[in-house]
Amino acid sequence: MKDRKSFPQPAKQAAQEFPIAFPNEADYTTALGVAWAPGRVNLIGEHTDYNDGFVLPIAVDRVTSFAGRARSDDIVRLWSSHFQEYAQFSLEGLPGTFEQHRATLPGWARYVLGVITELVKVGVKLNAFDAVLLGDVPVGGGMSSSAALEVATAQACALFSDGRFTIGDEQTTLKSMEVAALCQRAEQVASGVQCGILDQAASCLGRPEQATLLDCRSLEYRYLPFNAPDIALMVIDTTVRRELASSAYNERRKQCEEATRIFHDVIIQHEPENEAARSIRALRDISQEQLNRYESYLPDVLRRRAAYIIAEDDRVLQAVKLLETGAIDKIGPLLWASHAGLRDEYEVSCPELDILVEIAHQVSGVLGARMLGGGFGGCTINLVHNDSIEALRQAVDEQYPARTGLNASIDICRAAGGPGIAWVS
Ligand code: GLA
């Protein structure tokens, strides 16, 4: 548990707002506590998570936080500072009452309900609580504000559970990766997107000055240094959000499954002695050499999807080698190549993202840039020498509005820690 001074700013602010949002002291039996979890950027490894591949995210110094107090009844009451809106539901009857509650709740509260329902399903004993939700992860902006909300919800539940349930790595009720998997299920149910585990794992596992290499098949992970003081991580928001994103995401997932099925059948047919071919389960299992040999059996769209994923997994492993030797400044070309693949082969970019990457490409001192997350809007991630931050800012301010009619917003992030909890009073 942390002392008050070390809370992230949004947790402090949420604690200040709590008595205003929930003024009735008599409702509570316990102290005020805070729980928080970070948003993320993904250095490289986009759309590889649901292909059982590799990802290399960084938890950033932007968090979603709860400030709240446990209640003695079954009602969870929430105030969202961002949406300026209350929501409430009862714990009684969950998980059976999930659908009924979901239908009546605003979108943001569905993520909280989703996590609580998943916790109930795994048999965790919870207390109800009142809480203020407040954060500085841009909402819907590609830094996974929803994953931060989900992981912060799990942390808040642990904090308010009187020690009946704990999260951590040793001798806890739930391990961090179990929480990530449970939050992923909550996200899928709340949003209807069949997402992978990238965002939730990145939030759960974050460490200051480190990137996390996660194998999305085995769920094993390890940390790599990410601490070059002269290189900045700039996140530039197109400010575009597209409805199409959810359906296109689910469609990409299906296409990858279909491509896998074709590879599986064709390789078994051509290499009957190849035992390993029988256990092909995801594009992770297809090598570059097999892609070259058998790609003509795939319809063109599926061929391009598979080519991107197979190359992207390889780029993640190349980036890992560079980070292992402290060569952050050498990973730029991998970022440009990742963007080109997402744009041309995986087709999840959009004109605004491409324009931001093109602008970044013209500024010397920008080491690499690419779209971030699911795509069809949201942000780009840019690795930039400190000396070139202003030049990039200026280039974006001058060119982006002229080319798109929109204003981009620019943020500089640092690799920060994972989730936390603390008592305030
Ligand atoms: C979204 C999903 C993740 C991942 C990324 C793309 O953020 O939630 O699981 O698939 O898109 O890498």
- What band does 44 get if pLDDT is binned at 50, 70 and 90? very high
Walk across the sheet containing 221-225 and list its strands.
54-55, 210-215, 221-225
pTM recorded for the entire structure: 0.96
Q: What is the pLDDT of residues 186-216, one digit of tens each?
A: 999 998 999 999 999 999 999 999 999 999 9
Ligand 1 atom with the shortest distance to the CA of 193:
8
- What band does 4 get if pLDDT is binned at 50, 70 and 90? low
Q: If we measure between CA atoms, which residue out of 367, 296, 280 comes closest to residue 330?
A: 367
Out of 130, 199, 285, 313, the active site residue is 199
Q: If we measure between CA atoms, which residue out of 78, 219, 206, 233 comes closest to residue 147?
A: 206
Residue 332 has pLDDT above 80, yes or no: yes
Q: If we measure between CA atoms, which residue out of 232, 260, 173 comes closest to residue 386?
A: 232
Which one-letter DSSP state was computed for residue 138?
P
Q: If we measure between CA atoms, which residue out of 40, 67, 12, 66 comes closest to residue 145?
A: 40
CA of 191 to the centre of ligand 1 (A): 13
195 lines ligand 1 (CB under 6 A): yes
Quote the pLDDT of residue 162: 87
Q: Is residue 61 annotated as part of the catalytic site, yes or no?
A: no
46 lines ligand 1 (CB under 6 A): yes
Residue 1 has pLDDT above 60, yes or no: no
Quote the pLDDT of residue 245: 80
CA of 57 to the centre of ligand 1 (A): 11
**Mean pLDDT confidence for 344-359:** 98
Quote the pLDDT of residue 29: 79
CA of 323 to the centre of ligand 1 (A): 22
Using the structure block, give the residue that is written with the tokens 């790595």: 169
Residue 140 has pLDDT above 90, yes or no: no
More confident site: 3 or 343: 343
Q: What rounded mean pLDDT belongs to the chain?
A: 95
More confident site: 49 or 1: 49
Q: 98-112, 125-139, 235-249, 312-326: which range is least confident on average?
A: 235-249
What percentage of the chain exceeds 70 in pLDDT? Answer: 99
Q: Is 175 exposed, middle or buried (0-12, 13-18, 19+ CB in 10 A)?
A: middle
Q: If we measure between CA atoms, which residue out of 42, 33, 28 comes closest to residue 7?
A: 33
Q: Is the dihedral of CA 358, 360, 366, 368 positive or negative?
A: negative
